[in-house]
Amino acid sequence: MAILTLDNVCYEYKNQYVTVEAVKGISCEFEPGIVYSLMGASGSGKSTLLSLMAGLDLPTRGEVRYEGKPTSAFNLDKYRRESVAVIYQSFYLLPLLTVAENIMYPMELNGLRPRAARKRAKEVHASVGLTEDEFNRFPSMLSGGQRQRVAIARALGTPARIILADEPTGNLDATNSVLVMELLQKLAHEDGYCVIVVTHDPMISEMSDVVLRLSDGLLVDGPAA
């Protein structure tokens, strides 16, 4: 059963001179337990689509529905805190916070007390293959692969069951890229997350269960809703 549904989703960028239709009537469904990849050239609309699924904006027309309810009916700040977790190419870890504090930060925003947040942070930190020694380091002391694992651990500390990953291996070498994708596969296949990855990398598409290809704002290959 779909956890996220796109129903004829369109999105337009406008200024006083021109209107650009970045997404043109895309319909598809995303289910728990599956790794999806969104492929396409730059400008194909995949990052815009990811931002709509993340609740960073609303479609110009059509609907993004989470568990059957359109995102337009949600408080989008609450939706972003509790329903979806976004992982970025550049990690976006807070440099003045330790690994532990970075992972705890969204938990505390969701009202978890510091002691409980730290306990949960240790659990998710260990689940992504990081060592206890790395728990109290600062991001600058970690490799790129380690930082991306911290970013994934931070996502796992939220109630979200959807992980949206925007070029998560873009700053990683081939070995760490495979390790990150294996971790995302585990989260989907063993823990039941819905994982949606925007990427240019053919390796990621090969490691995904379902590949959707976009071109000029249209879904040109992949299962439609």
194 has pLDDT over 90: yes
pLDDT tens digits, 125-174: 888 888 888 888 999 998 888 888 888 888 888 889 999 998 888 888 88
φ, ψ of residue 11 in degrees (nearest 5): -145, 135
Indicate the domain borders of the chain: 4-83+160-221
Q: How many alpha carbons fall within 13 Å on the CB side of residue 130?
A: 30
188 has pLDDT over 70: yes
202 has pLDDT over 90: no
pLDDT tens digits, 42-71: 888 898 999 999 999 999 999 999 999 999
Q: What is the pLDDT of residue 29?
A: 95
224 has pLDDT over 60: no
225 has pLDDT over 60: no
Q: What is the pLDDT of residue 212?
A: 94
Q: What is the pLDDT of residue 25?
A: 94
- Over range 20-34, report the average pLDDT: 94
- Average of per-residue pLDDT values in the chain: 89
- List, as own/partner pairs, every contact residues 125-128 make where C-beta atoms lie below 8 angstroms and the sequence separation is at least 24, other chains included: 125/99, 125/100, 125/150, 125/153, 127/153, 127/156, 128/152, 128/153, 128/156, 128/183
| DSSP string for residues in the chain | --SEEEEEEEEEEE-SS-EEEEEEEEEEEE-TT-EEEEE--TTSSHHHHHHHHTTSS--SEEEEEETTEEGGGS-HHHHHHHTEEEEETT----TTS-HHHHHHHHHHHTT--HHHHHHHHHHHHHHTT--GGGGGS-GGGS-HHHHHHHHHHHHHTSS-SEEEEESTTTTS-HHHHHHHHHHHHHHHHTT--EEEEEES-HHHHHT-SEEEEEETTEEEES---
pLDDT tens digits, 71-107: 999 999 999 988 999 988 777 888 999 999 999 988 8
Q: What's this model's pTM, rounded to 2 decimal places?
A: 0.89
User: CATH assignment of 4-83+160-221?
Assistant: 3.40.50.300
pLDDT > 90 in the chain, percent: 46
Between 193 and 118, residue with greater pLDDT: 193
